[in-house]
A and B are shown apart, each in its own frame.
Chain A
Amino acid sequence: MRYGYYPGCSLEGISAEYDDSIRGLLAHLNVAIEEVPDWICCGTLAASSLSRLMGPATALWNVARAKHAGYDQLIAPCSACLYHFKHATKRVAENPALRAEIEALLELPLAAPPPTIHPLELLTADGFEARIRGLVQRDLSDLKVVCYYGCHISRPAAVMQFDDPENPQSMDRLLSWVGVKALDWSGKVDCCGAHYSLIRPDIVVDLCQGLFESALEVGAEAIVAACPMCHANLDTRQGEIGARLGRSLDMPVLYFSQVLGYALGLPIKSLGLKRHIVDPLPLMLAKCAQAGSAKGEVPSA
């Protein structure tokens, strides 16, 4: 099985910690990935909103190259890229006229492209549970988290075909394999406000304040995310959200790949744990110390 890897624009910049931790985690699990040659931006909502063709064409430029390279599956860690790839792939599969138009623009064929999947889809597929359970090095059983899936990973169901769009479980299940029991909560798929962070951060504060209130209500100490936009909003805007709630939140936002990688003993730096605005290290180290592992560091072999 050959896996293509599409980091997307965020993972190369503002969400570098997600890229760090995914690459580190997959390498540790012996999953070889190949970065899609000549990839470009997926287009996101901006391209889709401005032009009938530019949206799908820019997404499918990448899918066509993944097909040309011969990958069996294409891994896209960013939920927005994932959504635009899956959506465009489905539309051209169902609409031969549109497919012909886009093939002409791309000068590449689009028949039977490899499916695009989220890393959560990969890791919760057959064969990974036993492997992951067997590799646990650090004890995080005392860490209280909620899993925040966001909008795109499972909506709409007909397009994304992964997990439940109202009460997804894949991340919760994955974390349980390393001993982290995610708490049930009401904010799993509520929107974070997406790109409004740049133009109307007050809207992000409005939407995210409810998320933090729900997380606090169930006793969470950290939020675990699977999307770079969600992570950016909850991490970089946390100060403003706390100000709105009249309290200091100090609630780290971690990617599932960071939690997993940490539990499997990967070095802190390789997981991007020093890149956050709200520092997760004090919490991670304290939880490990409480559970008995010395200071959260892997004992030397």
Chain B
Amino acid sequence: MAPMALRHEFEALTGHDVNLCFQCGKCSAGCPMAERMDLKPAQVVHYIRLGRSEEVVLNSKAIWLCLGCETCSSRCPQQVEPAAAMNAARILALRRGRKPAVKEVGIYYRAFVNNMRLNGEIHDASVVAITHLRTGHPFHDLPLAWKLFTRGRVKPPPLPLHGGGFRKLYRRALDRDLDTGG
């Protein structure tokens, strides 16, 4: 695929123009996860601009380490919205069959969304249990879980809300997404 075509996909998803970035670095400076990232936010934006997002950005850990705090988008003087670019990169990476480069984030997001699709409302304990199991920490946080339980902060599994009618929404949203995706 022509490199700039992917850049246009970014713009279609975010509604923002990475070409406005003049590399001031405020996004990287304010990012709470920057020191753990392989690419800093300003670098992610720059690689998208250069048409190198396919081989560099979509494979990066940075886009998965991003936790959506929006410090970058809040401070950007050019309204480039690096946080939106990070989110678009996650969607585009998955559309192209790339596994999330930060495995445990991918596991957690999947567990969360699967639980949403099952119940409508999240059942915290299920999401936590499945995430811990799949990330190889089955006994993690059991003492904390007990303390929360005794304080009435662990809800019982909800019945699928409204008979599961919301499941149609997810199925149709994902089908449409795949139809219109890359």
A residues lining the B interface (CB < 8 Å): 9-10, 12-17, 38-41, 43-54, 57-58, 61, 83, 91, 94-95, 101, 105-106, 151-152, 155-158, 165-166, 189-191, 193-196, 198-200, 203, 207, 236, 274-277
Contacts and interface: CB of A to CB of B under 8 A. Distances in A.
A147 B49 CA distance: 39
A16 B153 contact: yes
Contacts of B32: 190-191, 193, 207
A275 B154 CA distance: 11
Contact of A9 (B107, B122, B132, B176): B122
A52 B89 CA distance: 11
B90 A50 contact: yes
Given A52-B13, A199-B135, 10 more contacts: A12-B121, A13-B123, A14-B154, A45-B67, A45-B109, A48-B87, A49-B91, A52-B180, A166-B74, A195-B108
Nearest to A194: B67
Contact of A40 (B104, B166, B181): B166
Given A13-B155, A49-B90, A155-B71, A54 B173 contact: yes
Contacts of A16: 152-153
Contacts of A105: 169, 172-173, 176
User: What size tier do the contact residues of chain B reach?
Assistant: 35 or more
B148 A14 contact: yes
Interface of B: 13, 15, 32-33, 36, 67-71, 73-74, 79, 81, 83, 87, 90-91, 94, 104-105, 107-110, 112-113, 116, 120-125, 127-128, 131-132, 135, 144, 147-148, 151-155, 161-162, 165-166, 169-170, 172-174, 176-177, 180-181
Contacts of B81: 156
Given A16-B153, A157-B74, A198-B131, A191 B67 contact: yes
A40 B124 contact: no
Nearest to B67: A194
Contact of A13 (B153, B162, B173, B177): B153
A158 B148 CA distance: 37
Contacts, number: 155
A54 B162 contact: no
B70 A151 contact: yes
Contacts of A190: 32
B20 to A, nearest CB: 15
21 contacts: A9-B121, A14-B154, A16-B152, A16-B153, A40-B116, A40-B166, A43-B116, A47-B112, A48-B87, A50-B90, A61-B169, A95-B15, A105-B173, A155-B70, A155-B71, A157-B74, A166-B74, A191-B67, A200-B104, A203-B36, A277-B148
Contacts of A52: 13, 91, 177, 180-181
B100 to A, nearest CB: 9
A106 B153 CA distance: 32
A107 to B, nearest CB: 9
A13 B166 contact: no
